[in-house]
Structure 1
Amino acid sequence: MDLQKPAVEPQQPEGCLVVAIRMPVRIVVLVLVVPVRMVWDGLVVVGRFLGDAVLRPLGRALLWLGRVLLVWPLVGLWRYVVVPVGWVLGRLGWVLVVVPVVFLHRYLLAPAGRALVWLARGVGAGLAWAYARVLTPVGHAVLWLVRYLVVVPACWVYEWILAPVGRALAWGARGVGRLLGLLVSGVGVAVYWITRVLLVLPALALWRWVLVPVGRVLAVVAREVGDALGHAWRIAGHLSRAVGRFLATLFRWIFVEPVRWVYRTVLAPLAHVVRDVVLRPAAEAARAVGRTARQALAAARETVRQTRADVRRALFGEPRERDAVPRREPRPLGARTLDSSTTALTKLTKD
């Protein structure tokens, strides 16, 4: 919230109407705005608490649940079902559609198209010969007949009959248009003065002597109400902050500090005593019992093993020892040392 005071602007001289409106409006607006501002600040605090404690963990849980229930199954479906099926369908389409179409285009449609192109070229050459040798002379003859039988007589009729008649009609139309323009101008001037006298002048007087003063008064009232709302909102912010701090301090001294004192004074020493008197001896005793149980189990296993060996000897006798078989592996060669006679120098020395 913005609690800083705005920059002070140079004050303009104000009239008595502004001074008379300002204080009652500010008092009424302050009384109306303070509860609204306190309720708003409370809703903001509750919203932040809900967002941090409820909505954000809930959103994370829903995100994880959506990932587990939707994203991972869809990824697995895409990776292990759609992609292999698409690859198989693509290969089938290539084998069943593309290869036959390419074969059909290469060995059937392309030769047929070339034959049609050759035929079309022959037909075009024949039509071009017919156009140049037959249609062109006939067209020139028809144009000469149309020019001297239609165009020349039509031009003569237009120049000596239609043009003079059209000029006469245009002159008469201009005279009628001027007459109508004079009549419309006179009617327009009359309507203008009637409208000015009956509508414009009364509307101008109403605007100048009624609406403008009323608008100025309403502007002053609206400006004062806006200023009052701004001041009331800032004052309500200060009051709301003070009330919030008071409630926070009260909650701290009523609930937090007693709980902290109980934890430090009672629960923590009691937990230490329980840990030192009960839990640690119990843990030592449990470890000792575990060691004793492991030793007893080891002794029992050894006893069972010896008893089983004695029973086997009593029933089947002592096991016969196997004869040692000589090993037929090559003897490893000794490593070369300074005493070995594998070099020429040591051989000469021994000799």
Structure 2
Amino acid sequence: MDLDKPPAPQPPEGCLVVALRLPVRIVVLVLVVPVRLAWDALVAAGRFLYATVLRPLGRALRWAGRALFVRPFVALWRWVLVPVGTALRWLGRVLVVAPLGRLHARLLTPLGHALRWAARGVVTHLLAPFGRGLAWLARAAGALLAAAGIGVFTGAAWLVRYMLVVPARWLYTHVLSPVGRALLWVAEALVTGAGTVLYWTARVVFVLPALALWRWVLVPVGRVLAVVAREVADALGHAWRVAGHLSRVVGRALGTLFRWIFVEPARWVYRTVLTPVGHVVRDVVLRPAARAAREVGRVTRLTLAAARETLRETRRDVRRALFGEPRQPAEADRREPPARDPRTLGSSTTVLTKD
């Protein structure tokens, strides 16, 4: 198992690392602890502000935005724009699309067929024969011009060959090529010598000093700076963790102090003073006041009901004294009609033979 394996051997540390570690960690711890305490305080304040102010404010702004913008626009779209768009689409289809379709089908299509038939007749019987005649004339003229051009081109080519090409080839072969080879050899020799001189000059003047500076100055300084940077980074991490523990301890101590100074006294006052006082006020003042209010309300309702009934009786008596008794409606006979006698063989349903 991995737990049974011995820890990997750590490389030996130099005296510079050991000498730098403790002072760097002390300095970094002194500098980081206030920063971590301030950071934790800001985080706690931000969480409290977010929970108590920003979240309710955001919800209120979201509700207000929905009530002021979203719902009016939705209602406008649903009840105004969509019906108007539907009506405009129907009007466009009735007033524009249908007439244009009829115009295209009844007028433009037959006119186009007629124009196409006329253009086809003109092309077939007029332009095609004229074009064939022009083509025949062009072929004849082209044949004559080709014969004349071949003779002229042959003579010009012979003159150019023996007056320009042959002398130029002899000049390139016997004069320009040897001179060019000699110039190329001289240029290669000069470039090789100059390049060798410049190479050794640059090596001695620039490369060797830069190599010595890199090997004997920059590399040792870089190693020392790397050790210092690594120790500073480790010290920062260690100091940040230690400052986190200290901040947690300080926060718990402040929370405990706040609880014992404010919360516990307030709880004690609520339990031992306010709750009994509230019970006494509820039993002595509020409940009798509520019962009295209910009684007053019941008496008031009964009084108002009696007053309304008295007012109705008075109005009924005045109407009876002025206009007399109201006419009673005749009762309609809602009974079922009596059943007729059943038909027999001797009975008749006609008027003349009816019994």
TM-score by length of 2: 0.78
Aligned to 2:348: none
SS at match of 1:58: helix
| Shift in alpha-carbon separation, 1:233–1:320, aligned structure 2, 3 A | closer
Q: Which moved more, 1:179-188 or 1:246-255?
A: 179-188
SS at match of 2:256: helix
Is 1:234 aligned to residue 241 of structure 2? yes
Q: Which moved more, 1:251-260 or 1:294-303?
A: 294-303
| Shift in alpha-carbon separation, 1:85–1:306, aligned structure 2, 3 A | closer
Q: Which moved more, 1:112-121 or 1:139-148?
A: 112-121
| Shift in alpha-carbon separation, 1:199–1:278, aligned structure 2, 3 A | same
Shift of 1:28: 0.6
| Shift in alpha-carbon separation, 1:296–1:254, aligned structure 2, 3 A | same
Is 1:142 aligned to residue 128 of structure 2? no
Shift of 1:278: 1.8
Equivalent residue runs for 1:86-101 within 5 Å: 86-91=85-90, 93-94=92-93, 98=97
Aligned to 1:110: 112
Q: 1:190 aligns with which of 189, 197, 208?
A: 197
Aligned to 2:274: 267
What is the RMSD of the two structures over their aligned residues, measured on CA atoms? Answer: 3.3
Between the aligned partners of 2:35 and 2:338, the Cα distance in structure 1 is: 102
Q: Which moved more, 1:45-54 or 1:266-275?
A: 266-275
Residue type of the alignment partner of 2:152: L
Equivalent residue runs for 1:203-282 within 5 Å: 203-282=210-289
Residue type of the alignment partner of 1:14: E
Aligned to 1:306: 313
Q: 1:129 aligns with which of 129, 132, 153?
A: 132
Aligned to 1:289: 296
Aligned to 1:154: 157
Residue type of the alignment partner of 1:288: E
Shift of 1:301: 2.7
SS at match of 1:183: helix
Aligned to 1:43: 42
Aligned to 2:346: none
Shift of 1:62: 1.4
Residue type of the alignment partner of 1:260: R
Aligned to 2:76: 77
Residue type of the alignment partner of 1:191: L
Shift of 1:281: 1.8
Shift of 1:279: 1.7
Aligned to 1:201: 208
Aligned to 1:18: 17
Segments of 5+ residues of structure 2 without an aligned counterpart are: 1-6, 343-355
Q: Deviations over 1:130-174 (max 9, x none)?
A: 464232343344344334422674376276455555556456445
Residue type of the alignment partner of 1:136: R
Q: Which moved more, 1:91-100 or 1:202-211?
A: 91-100
Q: Deviations over 1:36-89 (max 9, x none)?
A: 010011111111111111111111111122222222232233334433444454
Shift of 1:317: 4.7
TM-score by length of 1: 0.79
Is 1:67 aligned to residue 66 of structure 2? yes
| Shift in alpha-carbon separation, 1:250–1:101, aligned structure 2, 3 A | same
Aligned to 1:331: 337
Residue type of the alignment partner of 1:235: V
| Shift in alpha-carbon separation, 1:13–1:139, aligned structure 2, 3 A | same
| Shift in alpha-carbon separation, 1:127–1:295, aligned structure 2, 3 A | same
Between the aligned partners of 2:187 and 2:167, the Cα distance in structure 1 is: 29
Between the aligned partners of 1:114 and 1:170, the Cα distance in structure 2 is: 72
Report the number of matched residues. 326
Shift of 1:94: 4.7
Shift of 1:295: 2.1
| Shift in alpha-carbon separation, 1:299–1:19, aligned structure 2, 3 A | same
Q: Deviations over 1:206-263 (max 9, x none)?
A: 1111111111111111111111111111111110110011111111111111111111
Percent of paired sites with the same residue: 58
Shift of 1:322: 6.0
| Shift in alpha-carbon separation, 1:129–1:317, aligned structure 2, 3 A | closer
Between the aligned partners of 2:292 and 2:138, the Cα distance in structure 1 is: 126
Residue type of the alignment partner of 2:149: V
Aligned to 2:4: none
Shift of 1:321: 5.3
Aligned to 1:34: 33
Between the aligned partners of 1:52 and 1:166, the Cα distance in structure 2 is: 94
Between the aligned partners of 1:297 and 1:275, the Cα distance in structure 2 is: 31
Q: Which moved more, 1:20-29 or 1:144-153?
A: 144-153
